[in-house]
Amino acid sequence: MGAYSSDRPGRAGRDVGDVLEQDPSLPPVALDDDVLDAQDRRWTPVRIAVWAAIALLGGVAWVVLAVVRGETVNAIWFVFAAVCTYLIAYRFYSRYIEKHLLRPDDRRATPAEYKADGKDYVATDRRVLYGHHFAAIAGAGPLVGPVLAAQMGYLPGTIWIIVGVVLAGAVQDYLVMFFSMRRGGRSLGQMARDELGVIGGTAALVATLVIMIIIVAILALVVVNALAESPWGVFSVSMTIPIALFMGCYLRFWRPGKVTEVSLIGFVLLMAAIIGGGAIAETAWGAELFTLDKVTIAWAIVVYGFVAAVLPVWLLLAPRDYLSTFMKIGTIVMLAVAIVLVRPTLEVPAIEPLAAGGQGPVVAGPLFPFLFVTIACGALSGFHALISSGTTPKLLEKERQTRFIGYGGMLMESFVAIMALVAALSIDRGIYFAMNSSAAATGGTVEGAAAFVNGLGLTGVDVTPELLAQTASDVGEESIVSRTGGAPTLSVGLANIMAQLVGGRGLMAFWYHFAIMFEALFILTAVDAGTRVARFMLQDSIGNFVPRFRDTSWRVGAWLATAVMVAAWGAVLLMGVTDPLGGINTLFPLFGIANQLLAAIALAVCLAIVAKRGLFRYLWVVALPLAFASVVTITASFHKIFSDVPAIGYFAQNRAFRDARAAGETTFGTAATPEAMDAVIRNTMIQGVLSILFVTLSIIVIATALWATWRAYRSGSSATSEDDAVPSRIFAPAGLLPTPAEKELETQWAAVPADRRPVRTGH
């Protein structure tokens, strides 16, 4: 009935029949290879017609975006190009990787089964896990990066987000997740040490730990900026915590396995929290209780990060992230539907001449390489590799689910990035530049912003102080001038599109604040998951010297490692919150490059693993994105380290401000006070030194990975550091919806008496 026979070779090409002998008293734990192959070959006329239509629609959309030139472009083509490309990539390219490169074997137990401890290793329903993983990876990057890169025109960002995710971002997430799962859920740094040796492994461990601290701090900083002085946002985001605790207990104790049931309850409670937040913010007591300053919110996030990282994953982290996914995916799909129905026209050039020359006021530097480090999450993100080798591989029920969760989850994040780009492009170009240019350039006033933007010499741009003031009034803000960081711009764009569909201008303020709160909730989920991953990374690293720390269930080690990592990123967060220039302006450039360098490290480790498996025929799947990421990130790092242009180079800016300070000047460039000048001098030196550290460590890791690949090729060996195969005793479908063959097996498992059914530690 679709079972694997115990005497045939596994999908990885090894004879594992003796090791994976199945319990004869239980139904099959996996579909037979022949059944899987038959599903792939089943091409009916209707199926062929559907895929031909998808390919045709996607091709037309790409032709319109990339070839047809005019004064305007309709936003609907972005949706069609993205969705059609994602569908084709998931169905064909990810299946190619699964079949030839990874070869999952559902007869093998995953770490969630053979290491189950009820805390960190918990077999989790694939739908809940998809929500948790997507929520964890989809932080600030897919919202902020595309908005900032919108200054370069619509075409470069669109190509990088869609094509980049298919060939690079989703490939990285998928491979890292699978390889970590096969190694007991080991962290990226520990896998690097196992595969690359002491030198490359140590460099990777140091780089991943330091970069992780920077990344989590910046994610938390974006949340602080979004929630500060916002009682609506603070209340609604806070309420997601008790709702998640309720959902975790509901699935664990009261109604195990009832995912659809608890999903509906959680969705209703979430909507109540959102709507109630708006009402409570209007009351005197609500405004007083939930209006918090940045420092208070920062400390609250630090405490939350510690608690979320040490509690059992089924209690808070997984249900909260799953709950957040409802709002995230729901909002993005809602925006996509609105774009299709409203069909807004974007009056933006394909490539902005100002930005193409590296003179853009939002992102300094030439289009290559800075487009590719500005748009990180959504196309390729090293942070995802930490999640894919952190919490997620410890929760997977079956090996074949890695394709749906790893590759499929990244495609959804890319769609978020495309929607963010379209939202930013949909607003008036003059308003966009007024919102995203620094206060030093605009003076912080509508008059100064109008004069600055009109002085850029952009064709068709003529913004007035009245237009800027009216836009601020429409969204319920005192000012929209120099609201940098991406979140306010995305919120204005979303409000502008949604108001055309529902409510008109009268509801723009509602949609704007809804979007602000949505972004805060979106990003906070990456903070809690990131903290837990940071704890795993530190435990793995210390475990090289004190083996007891590798036991993630050891409470003392878990609490100590969590405290160290929370203290580290919390200190950076508080520095950013109290930075007189605004922490996001100080830290985000470093975040972009560090994040992409981490992606290069992750792909380098994957390259070595694939080579050691002897799969040289398919090595190009990893080598292609690794080569591109390495060139882009190392080039960008060299720009930031060696450029003589103060707006680009860290040390050039440091020299300019030091010279101005030595000359007795009290204001200079972006700094309006002597204290701000001192902050620039300090921060640029820190950024420059960290950039040198990051790029040096990355080059060491890449070089050692290439050497390991060459040695594997010369020796022809198929060495592996995978855990020994353990036979599985559970079954679960691979994708979102079970196939007919999977439904048949589910029926057989449902008939097994409860006293003979394997005990699951979580759902």
Q: How many helices (H) and strands (E) does the chain have?
A: 32, 2
What are the tokens at 502? 């529902």
pLDDT tens-digit series, residues 1-55: 344 333 333 444 444 444 578 888 889 999 887 788 777 777 889 999 999 999 9
pLDDT at residue number 257: 64
| CA pair distance 93, 90, nearest whole angstrom | 6
Query: Is the Cβ–Cβ distance between 248 and 319 less than 8 Å?
Result: yes
For the chain, residues with pLDDT lower than 50 are: 1-18, 761-763
pLDDT at residue number 1: 38
Task: Note if the pTM is more than 0.85.
Answer: yes
Helix (H, G, I), strand (E, B) or coil at 73: strand
Q: Tell me the domains of the chain and their CATH numbers.
A: 40-229+292-715 (1.20.1740.10)
pLDDT at residue number 586: 61
Instruction: Say which residues have a Cβ less than 8 Å from residue 338's Cβ, sequence separation at least 6.
Output: 497, 498, 500, 501
Instruction: Say which residues have a Cβ less than 8 Å from residue 621's Cβ, sequence separation at least 6.
Output: 97, 101, 171, 610
Pick from 482, 484, 481, 480: nearest CA to 495:
480
Query: Is the Cβ–Cβ distance between 405 and 129 less than 8 Å?
Result: yes
pLDDT at residue number 10: 40
pLDDT at residue number 479: 80
pLDDT at residue number 466: 92
Instruction: Say which residues have a Cβ less than 8 Å from residue 471's Cβ, sequence separation at least 6.
Output: 431, 480, 492
pLDDT tens-digit series, residues 174-184: 999 999 999 99
Q: What does the CA dihedral 127, 131, 137, 139 come to, rounded to 10 degrees?
A: 170
| CA pair distance 535, 539, nearest whole angstrom | 6
| CA pair distance 589, 583, nearest whole angstrom | 11
| CA pair distance 260, 9, nearest whole angstrom | 37
Q: What is the 3-state secondary structure (H, E, C) of 332-386?
A: HHHHHHHHHHHCCEECCCCCCHHHHCCCCCCCCCCHHHHHHHHCCCCCCCHHHHH
What are the tokens at 464? 């007035």
What are the tokens at 46? 């209707």
Q: What are phi and psi of 751, to 5 degrees?
A: -85, -10
| CA pair distance 453, 442, nearest whole angstrom | 8
For 362, other C-beta atoms within 10 Å of its C-beta total 22
Instruction: Say which residues have a Cβ less than 8 Å from residue 690's Cβ, sequence separation at least 6.
Output: 210, 214, 590, 594
| CA pair distance 647, 652, nearest whole angstrom | 8
What are the tokens at 203? 């460099």
Helix (H, G, I), strand (E, B) or coil at 228: coil
Q: What does the CA dihedral 552, 557, 559, 560 come to, rounded to 10 degrees?
A: -140
pLDDT at residue number 82: 97
